Structure 1
Amino acid sequence: MEITELTPAERRVWDAFPLGAPVDFRTCVEAEDDPETGAGWGPERTVRGEVLRALLISGRQEDGEAAALRVMGARISGSLNLRYATAEYAVLLAGCHFEQAPNLYGAQLRQLNLSNSVLPGLAAATVRIDGVLRLTDCRISGPVRLGGSRITQALFFDHTRIGVNAAGSTAPNDEVVLQLNHVIAGDDMWLPALVVHGEFRLDGAAVTGQVLLNDAELLNPGATALQAETLTVGTDVHAMRIRVEGRTNVRGSRIPGQLNFAYARLSNPGGVAVRAGSCTVGELWLREAAPIRGRVNLRRAQIDLIHADPAVWPRDVRLDGLTYTTLLPHLPAEQRLPLLGREEEGYVPYAYEQLTAAYRRIGDDDAARTVQLAKQRTHRTTLPGYARVWGYLQDVTVGYGFRPVRAATWLFSLLLIGALAYGLHRPPPLKAGEAPPFSAFFYTLDLLLPIIDFGQEKAFNPQGWYQYLSYLLIAAGWLLATTIAAGITRSVSRQ
């Protein structure tokens, strides 16, 4: 392109480029400088995309100066096509209005800043940026494709709106409007207050630092709002106060620090609201979050700490294979147990064992026994009738061995009943003159305890109703002894 073909506005940009000087077309009148109204800007602030491409690919550079493209408040007409191009210059196109979506597919750039601009989309898959990619406070009506990109420093999408056109209509539910899948970022990924209408895809991305989604809104009702399978993060994912309408899928992600959903609103009624199976997470925070609407799948996840009030969890929670170390806040077992009954399969022994272990780690043995008792009661519902009867007897008598005080109460009560009954009606001796002196207390103990022998049971023979009472005491003694032995075995094995 010849210099003589340039318009006055393009001449300013052309002459400023070798010096890296900024070219500002703004008028300092807010209503006139809003890039949403950029379609009406005249030729005095219009630059063709072809001119910008010629500068970046073959523009001249002054000796001793750092050439750069720095334009603010311009209308970029036509196509800015840098497909497979290599540009060794920083690019700043801030507050601009793009008539067509820039095509940066496979390009290599020093740095790219499109902050405060309005674009119909951005095609920049596999782009290489040796610096920062900044799209702060942009309004992008069409899809943003950055899949497979390599960004050596940070990526910024803060306060950007994607998927809403000037008329206010949004993208279809099945459209991926923000593609950051397989992106490699050498620093942080800044996405606070990001608004996405449609699917946000982050599958396989690798972020050296942290991902910040605080105050973001990801809206794709009835479909996937955040698709971030196998995401790898160096530190944390902060999503405090985030609002998600649609499915959040972080299956298989690796987050060594926090996955922080404090004060969040996660909703996908009738479907999966959160899928985090097979994740490895340092800390999962749902502190003060609104009750989740939709199913939650945490199967086979490994989480060191979970901070969540029981009221956060929905009716359908999948916990099979979930491994965790600590639960916060510390609550009685009775408040945590209802969650274990929400598993689709009903009785999942592993879930009870995990909750028991969590209470034992903090030294709350009473809560751990409560969980184990609940486990036995739930397991009883899966047994045949005869086994359930035996289970009920163990529950009533000694609480499956987890309520030893109950066993002592039964023994003491039966001992009092037997001692009183046989004290008022002494049974006759089997052999007159050979029987030892009768003791109602030790005679009852002989009946109740199947192993200990005080010589009373074999020496006396109760008659009538008192004989049936002795049979009852013997049977009760065997039942109590069996269940107490089971409880002692469990206690010893735990220690």
Structure 2
Amino acid sequence: MEITDLTPAERRIWEAFPRGEGVDFRESPDEDASGGHDWGPERTVRADVLAALLLSGPSPAGQVAELNVRGARITGKLNLKYAVVDHPIRLRSCWFERKPQLYGARLRALVLNDSTLPGLTASTVTVDIDLRLSCCRVTGPVRLAGARIAGGLFLRRAVIGTPATGEEAPQETPEPPLQINHADIGTDIIAMELTVHGQTRMNGTTVAGQINLDHARLNAPGGIALHAETLSVGTDLRASRLEADGMVNLTGARIPGQAYFSRARLSAPGETALRASSCTIGELWLRECPRIDGIVNLRRSQLDMLYAEPDTWPPVVRTDGLTYRVLHPHLPAEERLPLLEREESGYLPYVYEQLAAAYRTVGDESAARDVQLAKLRRHRRTQPHHTRLWGLLQDVTVGYGFRPLRAAGWLLLLVLTGWIAYGLHHPRPLKPGEAPDFNPVFYTIDLLLPIIGFGQEEAFAPSGWYQWLSYLLIVTGWILATTTAAGVSRSLQRQ
């Protein structure tokens, strides 16, 4: 392209490029680029001119050339497909008529902050420094699948996609507006206050640093809002106050630090709202979240710490195979046990053992025993009726061995009953003149405890309803002895 073909606006850019100087067409610093379609020829630049400048423009020795433009109306398609561009590209607060084509390109740096675009095709792009799309308004898809960015990806306060309206015909397989799947990010993805109308796809992406989605809004009603299967993060996934309308799918993710969803609103009515199965996560934070609207699936995941209040969990959870070492906040077992009743698969002994182990980790043996007792009671409801009766007897008498003092209470009550009954009406001696002096307390103990003998039971024979009382005491004693032995045996097995 000859220099004589340039318009005045293009000539300004061409002359500033070799020196790395900026060209600002804006009328005010806070001008909104969304109205760029009405900008006049004094700030209109052809995309072909910018491509020619980047690929073959002047680059004097001793100077660092840079494309640095603000507030331009860029017409046509900026086509840098497979190109190698050694100069930084900064097109801030610009309006693009067509989506840039950067497929397979190798760029030094790309900054499109505050710009308005109909889309961005940059799959498999390689960027030596950063890719910045902060505060952009992008109506079409942003394709960054397979991108290799040595620095960071910045999407702070960007708005990507177009809100769906009731008049639009539904698409069978809509293209995700934000595609960062199988990308390799050298530092961080910074996307605070990001808004995406549709699916955000990060499957198989590797991020050396953190992902920050604080205050982001991901809107995909009836679909997947965040699709991040096998995501690998170097430090943390931050999503404080995230608003996700649709599933958050982290299946197989590896997050050694925190998955921080505190105060996040997760909603997928009738569907899975949070799927974090088969994950390895250092700390999963659901602190002060509103009740999750949808199913939570944490099957087979490994967590070092899980922070969630009981009110956060929805009516249906899936926790089969979930492993966690510490559970916060520390609450009585009575407040945690209802969650185990919500397990979709029904009675799972493992979830009770896991909760008890978490209480033991922090030294709360009393809560751990409460969980074990609740496990046996839940198990009893799954057994046949005749087996349930024996379990009920163990529960009432000694609490399955977790309440040993309960047997002493029953024994004391029965001894007191026999003491009063036989004290008021002494049974007759079997051999008058040979029988020892009658003692109602030791007579009752003789009836209750089959392995202890004080000579009272063999020497006296009650009659009438006192005889039936003696039968009741004998049977009750055997039941107490048997259930106590079963409880002690179970306790020894646990130890």
TM-score when normalising by structure 1: 0.95
Q: Distance in 1 between matches of 2:187 and 2:83?
A: 24
**Does structure 2 conserve the Cα–Cα contact (< 8 Å) formed by 1:116 and 1:139?**
yes
Q: Following the alignment from structure 2 to structure 1, what is the Cα–Cα distance between the partners of residues 455 and 299?
A: 59
1:375 alignment counterpart = 375
| Offset of residue 300 of structure 1 | 1.1
Change (3 A) 1:74 1:384: same
Partner residue of 2:460? 460
- Counterparts in 2 of 1:387 and 1:304: CA distance versus 1, 3 Å: same
The residue aligned with 1:360 is 360
Structure 2 gap segments, 5+ residues each: none
**Structure 1 residue 236, shift from structure 2 partner:** 0.9
The answer as to 2:312 corresponding to 1:312 is yes
Identity over aligned pairs, percent: 59
Contact kept? 1:140, 1:165, Cα under 8 Å:
no
When structure 1 is superposed on structure 2, of 414-423 and 120-129 the one drifting more is 414-423
SS at match of 1:474: helix
**One-letter code of the match for 2:189?**
M
What is the correspondence of 1:411-422 to structure 2 with a 5 Å cutoff?
A: 411-422=411-422
More displaced 10-residue stretch of structure 1: 454-463 or 159-168:
159-168
Could you tell me which amino acid in structure 2 is paired with residue 333 of structure 1? A
Which runs of structure 2 are paired with 1:8-87 in the superposition (5 Å)?
A: 8-28=8-28, 30=30, 33-87=31-85
Do 1:141 and 1:165's aligned partners in 2 also have CA atoms closer than 8 Å? Answer: no
Letter paired with 1:53: A
Number of aligned residue pairs: 493
For 1:95, the equivalent position in structure 2 comes to 93
Look up the SS of the partner of 1:245 in the other structure. Answer: strand
C-alpha distance in structure 1 between counterparts of 2:38 and 2:109, whole Å: 29
> Is the partner of 1:89 in helix, strand or coil?
coil
Q: Quote the Cα distance in structure 2 between the aligned partners of 1:385 and 1:286.
A: 40
CA contact 1:246–1:268 (8 Å) conserved in 2: yes
Deviation at 1:366, TM superposition (A): 2.1
Q: 1:385 is matched with which residue?
A: 385
CA contact (8 A) 1:296 1:318 kept: yes
Distance 2:141 2:179 in 1: 8
Q: 1:339 to 1:165 in 2, by over 3 A?
A: closer
Task: Say if 1:14 and 1:55, in contact at 8 Å, map to a contact too.
Answer: yes
Amino acid at match of 1:374: A
Work out whether 1:258 is the aligned partner of 2:258: yes
Letter in 1 for 2:213: L
Whole-angstrom CA distance in 1 between matches of 2:457 and 2:55: 107
Specify the alignment match of 2:161 in structure 1.
163
Q: Tell me if structure 1 keeps the 8 A contact 2:113–2:136.
A: yes
Pairing 1:134-173 to 2, within 5 Å after superposition: 134-164=132-162
1:2 aligns with 2:2: yes
Q: Do the aligned partners of residues 200 and 17 (structure 1) sit closer, same or farther apart at CA in structure 2, a change above 3 Å counting?
A: same
Render the CA deviation track for 1:91-115: whole Å, top value 9, x for unaligned: 1010110111111111100111000
TM normalised by structure 2 equals: 0.95
**What is the CA-CA distance between 1:436 and the residue it aligns to?**
4.0
Are 2:394 and 2:487, in contact at CA under 8 Å, matched by a contact in 1? no
Deviations 1:367-410 (A, max 9, x none): 22222221122111111111112222222222222222322111
1:442 is paired with a residue of what secondary structure? helix
**RMSD value, Cα:** 2.1
Corresponding residue number in structure 2 for 1:240: 240
1:332 and 2:332 matched? yes
For residue 60 of structure 1, give the secondary structure of its aligned residue in structure 2. Answer: coil
Output the amino acid matched with 1:79. Answer: K
Tell me how far apart the structure 2 counterparts of residues 430 and 180 of structure 1 sit (CA, whole Å).
Answer: 94
1:221-253 per-position Cα deviation (integer Å, ceiling 9, x unaligned): 111111111111111111111111111111111
Work out which of the residue numbers 114, 127, 133 in structure 2 matches 1:116: 114
Could you say if the C-alpha distance between residues 226 and 416 of structure 1 is closer, same or farther in structure 2, counting changes exceeding 3 Å? same
8 Å Cα contact 1:251-1:279 kept in structure 2: yes
Q: Which moved more, 1:462-471 or 1:428-437?
A: 428-437
SS in 2 for 1:311: helix
Deviation at 1:29, TM superposition (A): 7.1
Whether the 8 Å CA contact 2:316–2:343 is kept in 1: the answer is: yes
CA gap of 1:215–1:100, structure 2 versus 1, over 3 A, is: same
Q: Kindly indicate whether the alpha-carbon contact (under 8 Å) linking 2:163 and 2:197 is maintained by their aligned counterparts in 1.
A: no
User: Aligned partners of 1:418 and 1:168: how far apart in 2?
Assistant: 79
Cross-structure match for 1:182: 182
Question: Which whole-Å CA distance do the structure 2 matches of 1:397 and 1:491 have between them?
Answer: 15
Residue 271, structure 1, aligned to residue 271, structure 2? yes
After superposition, what is the alpha-carbon deviation per residue over 1:280-299, rounded to whole angstroms, capped at 9, x for unaligned? 11111121111111111111
Q: Once the 2 structures are TM-superposed, how far is the Cα of residue 439 of structure 1 from its aligned partner?
A: 2.7
Letter in 2 for 1:272: T
Inter-partner Cα distance in structure 1 for 2:437 and 2:129: 100
Deviating more after overlay: 374-383 vs 457-466: 457-466
* Equivalent pair of 2:393/2:483 in contact (CA under 8 Å): no
Cα distance per residue 1:111-144 (max 9 Å; x no partner): 1100000000011111100101110100000011
